[in-house]
Amino acid sequence: MASDSARAALLLSKQLKGEGSMRARGFLFPLSLKFQTRTDANQSRSFHSRPKDLQKNGASFFSAGLVDDENPFEWQIILTGPASTLYEGGMFKARLTFPKDYPYKPPVMKFVSEMWHPNIYKDGKVCISILHPAGDDPNAYEMASERWLPVHTVESILNSVISLLASPNTESPANVDAAKQMREEPDNFKRRVRRTVDKTLDEAF
């Protein structure tokens, strides 16, 4: 009988190859795409031009690939900021780290790019219901159905994070300073977010 970690690795490999629900709905960047560097300028420009054009239709997109081809438990992600939001146009880099007993326990998502968002910790870790362990919320803030379930996929996680970028929750913030600024100084909040967007573009070329 296969071990839990072997089963988890197989499941992740299937998702990465697009055999599961990560088959594109609308558009999905090639899963083998690696993070871009300044030395990949031509490829980066091509990569950036596609989401910019496609976002005219109001969609948001992501790419996913392994950090190390020998390790299926750590993925690198690029999310494009949702259209018509403060994060529009950004190319935000993140990591998804999966436990050996995935899908019974959720992965951890942490942005590598600088982020300023009420529901993203200052160290980049994402705070969202879908990534909280299964079961009842000890603080009675979330319903069990909103938390992690083994049926969730990488695609559903990333779509939830994209929705979080579009609609921040200031009632239960991970970054209290960002939430306070969003409520009390919205113009300064907007300017700070746009600086992070511009920074992702500077780093892409």
Which helix (H) or strand (E) segment is 26 a member of? none
The letter for the amino acid at 47 is F
Round to whole Å and give the CA distance between 175 and 172.
Answer: 9
Of 94, 115, 127, 204, the catalytic one is 127
Residues found in the chain: 205
Phi, psi of 67 (to 5 degrees): -65, -40
Query: Reduced to 3 states, what is the DSSP secondary structure of residue 39?
Result: helix
Q: Examine the residue annotation and report whether 16 is marked as an active-site residue of this protein.
A: no
Contact 23, 15 (CB under 8 A): no
Long-range CB contact pairs, 121-128, < 8 A, 24+:
121/174, 121/175, 122/175, 124/94, 125/174, 126/94, 126/161, 126/164, 127/174, 128/160, 128/161, 128/164
**Strand, coil or helix: what is 165?**
helix
Active site residues per annotation? 127
